[in-house]
Structure 1
Amino acid sequence: MSRAEKVWITVLALLTSIAPLATDMYLPALPRVVDDLGTTASGVQLTLTAFLVGLALGQLVIGPLSDARGRRPLLLIGASVCALAGLGAAFAPTVGVLVGARFVQGFAGAAGIVLARAVIVDRTSGRRTAQLFTLMMAINGVAPVVAPLVGSGLVDPIGWRGIFVVLAGLAVLMVVGVLVAVPESLPVERRRTGGLRRTAADIASVLRRGPYVAWTLVLALSFSTMFAYISGSSFVLQDVLGLSTVGYAAAFASNAAGLVLVSVLGARWDVDPRRKATIGVAILVTAAAALLAVTAAGAPVWPVLVLLFLAVSSLGLIMGNATALATGHARDVAGTASALLGAGQFGLGAAVSPLVGSSASAMAAVMLGASGLAVIALVTARRLDPADAPTTPAAAAV
């Protein structure tokens, strides 16, 4: 990989890091947000739900729009609005205002997520796409390692409001990164025209491609286990299992480090992406089932931490490979395909977050339910998309 390509993929990874940064950095401060704004655990979890709903809807709008308008201008606009929304969250007087600001932050931040994927699909193909998606995930995985540790260090001196100011500053850095290192990847002659009618036709076309839909469900359902964990971990590990704020941040960072390590090793493992995704889903559902058993039995903290580590780390084999396998069947409409994939991913994450509450068993049950459905999606995907199948729109359409 050339130096220019390393810089390019690093900037794209930073653009997609808005989700883990804006989610994980303020997780250690959630109990303080409850006290400061006079709300409840479920109420403050709505700020996470609003952010995820914004991410889902934003991708549905921005992805198809980029197929007609290009990637780079929308990246710049999205990062800029995301910075402004971070300031709005920092000065929110009520939980309702905070929920609204988080929605806008998610909607604008969706540009970095959906368009980074589209740029990679524009410029690569085959196993190279899967390797770059997995490598980008590994780089991006530094964010959830660092974010809770930084959040824990910042919550005392600057409070949860100051954390949102920091997030706004990071969004400004993303604007600079796009200006310096991300050229336009979609030439004018490849752009889609025809307005809303064309967009609707493109969405319908993508949703008729069976392998794309199946691999997207594998990704979205597996990712839902991550957000069940993210939504409940602060309360479960601190309030139920008794970890301190620093202990929680260390546990969260260890799990994220496992995700990074598996992603890096997976990117170097030159086998079919279908095989890697299958191994990852098998580990995920096994860890989730064991987690439900030990939490229902009232097990001590260490078995819970080990199983959470295995569950989160397994996503390093699933997410990059499932993304590449899905988008490989929709290269002609990469922005739209990336939008639908991201909307499903974060939409399901938003749906499961309020189900978790503050119960360890509820968190484990949601994780098992989502991973069990991911197994069904995986079996379907392997049937529709065998290892020797070409990843072209015509071959994938069913």
Structure 2
Amino acid sequence: MSTTAETAGTTRAERKTPRREGTLRFLLILGGLSAFGPLSIDMYLPALPRLAVDLGASDSTVQLTLTAFIVGLALGQVVVGPLSDAYGRRVPLLIGLALYVVGSVAAAVSPDITLLIIARAVQALGAAAGIVISRATVRDLFSGKAMTKFFSMLMLVNGLAPIIAPVLGGQLLNFTSWRGVFVVLTGFGVLLLVVVAVAMPEPLALGNRTPARLGGVLRTYAGLLADRSFLGYALASGLMFAGLFAYISGSSFALQGVYGLSPQQFSLVFGLNGVGIVLAGQLNGRLVGRFSERTLLAAGLTVAAAGGLGVLFAVTAGLPLIGLVIPLLVVVSSIGLVMPNASSLALAEHARSAGSASALLGVLQFVIGGVATPLVGLGGPGTAVPMAATMAGFGVLALLAFLTLTRPAPQLDASLAKPLK
């Protein structure tokens, strides 16, 4: 893992903030940064029909605004990760946040669909910086169980983002147009830009930085992909994220169209599952001192696979609503167990390339998640089977990736399991 110089460098970085104040500050900042993706993707989804009418575009063309964002998010992470390893976290992050604000403003004032698609791509490139650097910063400041506990704490801030964003977007449309949604996202970007500029110290010590040469960057990515354990943890988290994508994109059709819930009842179920993610994340933070991260990850993935199969059984057997809601709660809540441990284990042995490793984690999550969305709609609006099958399938695949690719990590020296000072 770390060299002596690296350990000394990270120790210097730790002394920049007091323990309690520093932890709370980074928790709020990094939680906001990691919420960029879900908020920017899901918040404007309820506005798509109105957007198509206003700009005179077909539904398929409007969908390109989502595709452009996901592609930009993936490409942006690949680029920002190595840059943050070379130049520190603050400068690439501030540039990314400024780019996000520019893209959000351009989206809000776009006169036609072509410019909106371009604006969304720019917005995504900026959002990528927040997602990558939030995870890499956690690795800069923590290691061992302290890192896993902090990832669990982050679930308090960002665990609800993918769940709440569509509901928040729908409520905004009661007061404003789709352009207003992008105005709100602009405000969110400006707020984080100011907070990072004023309150976030540089977490990556000079001695821990690596030059951003193309050959070196490519070797770093090749090395990460060749690392079986890293790939196993990354695939496990990516496949679980895909199951969450399937739930987000398909649950409204399943619960309202098939089971007859009203929009208000659906919102309650949606919110309950979001609370489940947060509670599971906090439970994980308490258990990580008693059990290893690998054990907790195995438990979370097993619960997720069982819950996904339970969802599939409920819809194919025609069980009443409660028979579907319970396994849905189980599989969605398991995200709070899986993500903190998978992220911590994936980044644990890559302190000097945390930005690049974080980038690959994010790319796999959004690429595999992007595959899940069209699968949910294969059966049409009158059935919940595609959503259930997709959730069950990705849950089982995540467990298999973990079991076949990862191996138990060597025990860390206790002095390296460090909290933020």
Provide TM-score, normalisation by structure 2. 0.85
Match of 1:363 in 2: 387
Whole-Å separation in 2 of the counterparts to 1:29 and 1:301:
28
Q: Could you say if the C-alpha distance between residues 51 and 254 of structure 1 is closer, same or farther in structure 2, counting changes exceeding 3 Å?
A: farther
Match of 2:273 in 1: 255
Q: Could you say if the C-alpha distance between residues 308 and 91 of structure 1 is closer, same or farther in structure 2, counting changes exceeding 3 Å?
A: farther
Q: Which deviates further from its counterpart, 186-195 or 284-293?
A: 186-195
Whole-Å separation in 2 of the counterparts to 1:223 and 1:209:
21
Whole-Å separation in 2 of the counterparts to 1:10 and 1:294:
38
Match of 1:89 in 2: 107
Q: Give how far 1:149 is off.
A: 3.8
Q: Give how far 1:224 is off.
A: 0.8
SS at match of 1:192: coil
Q: Give how far 1:197 is off.
A: 1.2
String of CA shifts for 1:332-385, please: whole Å, max 9, x gaps: 21111111111111111122222222452212222122111111111124xx42
Structure 1 residue 52 corresponds to structure 2 residue 76: no
SS at match of 2:408: coil
Structure 1 residue 310 corresponds to structure 2 residue 330: yes
Match of 1:266 in 2: 284
After the TM superposition, which residues 41-190 of structure 1 pair with which residues of structure 2 at under 5 Å, given as runs?
A: 45-93=63-111, 97-144=115-162, 146-190=164-208
1:375 to 383, 391, 399: 399
Whole-Å separation in 2 of the counterparts to 1:190 and 1:144:
33
AA in 1 matched with 2:391: M
Q: Could you say if the C-alpha distance between residues 242 and 78 of structure 1 is closer, same or farther in structure 2, counting changes exceeding 3 Å?
A: farther
Q: Could you say if the C-alpha distance between residues 45 and 264 of structure 1 is closer, same or farther in structure 2, counting changes exceeding 3 Å?
A: farther
Q: Which deviates further from its counterpart, 151-160 or 117-126?
A: 151-160
2:160/2:277 contact within 8 Å kept:
no
Whole-Å separation in 1 of the counterparts to 2:94 and 2:373:
29
Whole-Å separation in 1 of the counterparts to 2:278 and 2:212:
41
Whole-Å separation in 2 of the counterparts to 1:142 and 1:157:
23
Whole-Å separation in 2 of the counterparts to 1:301 and 1:101:
41
2:371 to 332, 343, 351: 351
Pairwise CA RMSD: 2.4
Q: Could you say if the C-alpha distance between residues 104 and 385 of structure 1 is closer, same or farther in structure 2, counting changes exceeding 3 Å?
A: same
AA in 1 matched with 2:396: G
In structure 2, runs of 5+ residues without a counterpart are 1-18, 414-421
After the TM superposition, which residues 15-34 of structure 1 pair with which residues of structure 2 at under 5 Å, given as runs?
A: 15-33=33-51
Q: Give how far 1:308 is off.
A: 2.1
AA in 2 matched with 1:217: L
Match of 1:396 in 2: none
Whole-Å separation in 2 of the counterparts to 1:208 and 1:231:
32
Whole-Å separation in 2 of the counterparts to 1:91 and 1:238:
34
SS at match of 1:14: helix
Q: Give how far 1:299 is off.
A: 4.4
AA in 2 matched with 1:375: L
AA in 1 matched with 2:407: D
Q: Give how far 1:12 is off.
A: 0.8
Q: Give how far 1:257 is off.
A: 1.2
Whole-Å separation in 1 of the counterparts to 2:267 and 2:90:
35
String of CA shifts for 1:111-170, please: whole Å, max 9, x gaps: 111001111111111111111112112221243454344323211110332112101110
Match of 2:360 in 1: 340
SS at match of 2:70: helix
2:104/2:186 contact within 8 Å kept:
yes
Whole-Å separation in 1 of the counterparts to 2:52 and 2:343:
36
AA in 2 matched with 1:304: L
Whole-Å separation in 1 of the counterparts to 2:252 and 2:105:
24
After the TM superposition, which residues 216-255 of structure 1 pair with which residues of structure 2 at under 5 Å, given as runs?
A: 216-255=234-273
Whole-Å separation in 2 of the counterparts to 1:149 and 1:38:
25
1:49/1:351 contact within 8 Å kept:
no
1:277/1:318 contact within 8 Å kept:
yes
AA in 1 matched with 2:140: D
AA in 2 matched with 1:377: A
1:214 to 229, 232, 245: 232
1:284/1:371 contact within 8 Å kept:
yes
Whole-Å separation in 2 of the counterparts to 1:160 and 1:240:
28
String of CA shifts for 1:9-51, please: whole Å, max 9, x gaps: 2111111111222233234444544555566776655544432
In structure 1, runs of 5+ residues without a counterpart are 392-398
Match of 2:5 in 1: none
Who wins on radius of gyration, i.e. which is larger?
2
2:209/2:352 contact within 8 Å kept:
no
Q: Give how far 1:96 is off.
A: 5.1
Whole-Å separation in 1 of the counterparts to 2:371 and 2:160:
26
Q: Which deviates further from its counterpart, 263-272 or 203-212?
A: 203-212
Match of 2:4 in 1: none
Whole-Å separation in 2 of the counterparts to 1:244 and 1:155:
18
Q: Give how far 1:320 is off.
A: 0.8
SS at match of 1:193: coil
Match of 1:325 in 2: 345
Q: Could you say if the C-alpha distance between residues 40 and 255 of structure 1 is closer, same or farther in structure 2, counting changes exceeding 3 Å?
A: farther
String of CA shifts for 1:290-320, please: whole Å, max 9, x gaps: 2122223444544333332221101100001
SS at match of 2:127: helix
Match of 2:407 in 1: 385
SS at match of 2:334: helix
Q: Could you say if the C-alpha distance between residues 331 and 146 of structure 1 is closer, same or farther in structure 2, counting changes exceeding 3 Å?
A: same
Whole-Å separation in 1 of the counterparts to 2:54 and 2:327:
33
1:145/1:257 contact within 8 Å kept:
no
Q: Which deviates further from its counterpart, 149-158 or 327-336?
A: 149-158
Report how many residues are paired: 389
AA in 2 matched with 1:84: V
